[in-house]
Amino acid sequence: MPAQPASVPAFPVPLERFVRLFNAGEYWESHEELEAAWRAGRSEFYHGLILYASAFVHAGRGNPHGVWSQLAKADALLRDYRPRYLGVDVDLLFAGGRAARYALQAGERPEAPVLTLSLARVRGSEPELPGGMAGPPGG
């Protein structure tokens, strides 16, 4: 019987691990999970996710200035990927950032949103996709 071809994962493995770790509250580890992929491909989307996770590292350390600073950087990088990119609800990231800022203003500890990956949120032109083709963020 001929061997079946290996299936291509729907999402990049580092992104899947990032989401799993982020949702487990392991923000530093999620940040680290995307670092190598970001350095290899210079994906601005990955860079934005790294900064977003970093904001919640600062939240856990009780550093409001760090939260605000990292969210501002993440917003600047992720803005062009709205509303969705690579299976991620980018609008949810922005809503989570707004909620984090409101929590800080109220003297509360920000809570991170729960991230999910969905094929319905894949544009199809994302260069980060396994076997994906290059294209602009608006693709």
Assess if residue 126 is contained within a domain.
Answer: no
Give the three-state DSSP class for 88. Answer: strand
- Which pLDDT belongs to residue 5? 42
Angle between the N-to-C axes of helices 13-23 and 27-41, in degrees from 0 to 180, rounded to the nearest 10: 160
Assess if residue 41 is contained within a domain.
Answer: yes
User: How buried is residue 91: exposed, middle or buried, by Cβ count under 10 Å (0-12/13-18/19+)?
Assistant: middle
* Tokens matching residue 15: 């992104």
Residue showing tokens 């999910």: 116
Assess if residue 1 is contained within a domain.
Answer: no
Domain holding 54, by residue range, is 13-121
Our CA angle for 57, 80, 67, nearest 5°, is 20
How many structural domains comprise the chain? 1
Assess if residue 129 is contained within a domain.
Answer: no
Quote the pTM value: 0.88
Tens-place pLDDT, residues 71-115: 999 999 999 999 999 999 999 999 999 999 999 999 999 999 999
Place 10 in a pLDDT band, splitting at 50, 70 and 90.
confident
Tens-place pLDDT, residues 11-43: 999 999 999 999 999 999 999 999 999 999 999
